[in-house]
Amino acid sequence: METSSTATRAPLYTIRPSTGWSAVNLKELLQYRDLLFVFASRDVKLRYRQTLLGPVWILLQPLMGAGVLSFVFGGIAKLKAPGHMPIFVYSFTGMLGWNVFSGLISKVSVSLVGNTHLISKVYFPRLLLPFSTIFGVLIDFTAALLIVPFLLVAFHITPGLPLLMLPVWVFLLALMGMGIGLCASAVMVLYRDVSPMVSVVMGFLPYISAVGFDLTQVRPEFKHIVVYNPIIGLLEGMRWSLVNLPFSGSANLAYSVVASVAIFFLGIMAFKRMERIFADVI
């Protein structure tokens, strides 16, 4: 028989929709860290299930991407990498950074609509879903990074102390990709046609992001199209760390760093602003 004290006991948690701007609850995210690891491990395990080559795709994707860019910019456009560097090495180091950026946008943008059964039935911090994709993207980057020492030896390239800055560029690229992905994922809950739009944009964006070509070789009348792209400075930072290529300008780097942080916080704000309606409309 229930006692009166038991019957009137206050609930352990009270879930209410947020109103206005609400900051990220880091304490709550920490409490759900085990669920974050579950989501991350599920993403990694399911990615290459029922594929013929399995994890080999982690290495093939940047190699094939660098090969295509080398053919387009080196073979067709006749552009050259700075410092007599092989165009393939230049493109491959650019693809490493680009894959972190684009991989997060692609995975984060569909992280909510791909888990509708969870969002509509179970409460947990919704940010766990987009954040859980980071682990898989970093695993892909680390695996592809293992190819770089072989390229350096094959083409007699010696990296220097800038190699210690590599984690900084990866972090900034991840911030930018996460910010854009968070915005896209929040809007995609309402409008599913955001998904094909993201696919189309990410398909041609490498060709205006200096992934496979040197910005200094762009003709002046076209340079204004790419000069305001904030990812270019971060890709130059990747090449500076991996193959010791200099920056084209410190102003570009400062602009890219500020843009990365700003885009991430804008993504968080957009996500938190729309979070209250996810379960209702998804």
Please report the pLDDT score of residue 124 as a whole number: 85
Token pair for residue 116?
A: 């509708």
Amino acid occupying residue 204: F
- Cβ atoms of 236 and 259 within 8 Å: the answer is no
Q: How far apart are CA 16 and CA 23, in angstroms?
A: 15
Written as tens digits, the pLDDT of the chain (282 aa) is: 445 555 566 666 665 655 545 567 788 888 888 998 999 988 887 776 656 566 777 788 888 888 888 888 888 877 788 877 889 999 999 999 999 999 999 999 999 888 888 887 888 888 999 999 999 999 999 989 999 999 999 988 888 888 999 999 999 999 999 999 999 999 998 888 888 899 888 888 888 888 888 877 777 777 777 778 899 899 999 999 999 888 765 557 888 999 999 999 999 998 988 887 776 676
Token pair for residue 50?
A: 């029922």
Q: How far apart are CA 62 and CA 92, in angstroms?
A: 7
Q: How far apart are CA 109 and CA 112, in angstroms?
A: 7
DSSP string, 54-97: GGGHHHHHHHHHHHHHIIIIIIIS----GGG--HHHHHHHHHHH
Vertex 258: Cα angle to 256 and 263 (nearest 5):
90
For the chain, the residue count is 282
Q: From its phi and psi, is residue 180 left (phi > 0), alpha (psi between -120 and 50) or beta?
A: alpha
Could you give the C-alpha distances from 17 to 30, 172, 202, 266, 273, in angstroms and in order? Answer: 20, 32, 34, 21, 11
Please report the pLDDT score of residue 23 as a whole number: 63
What 199-202 contacts at long range (C-beta under 8 Å, 24+ apart), as own/partner pairs, is: 199/106, 202/102, 202/105, 202/106
Ordered by start, the domain boundaries in the chain are: 27-281
193: exposed, middle or buried (Cβ count in 10 Å: 0-12, 13-18, 19+)? exposed
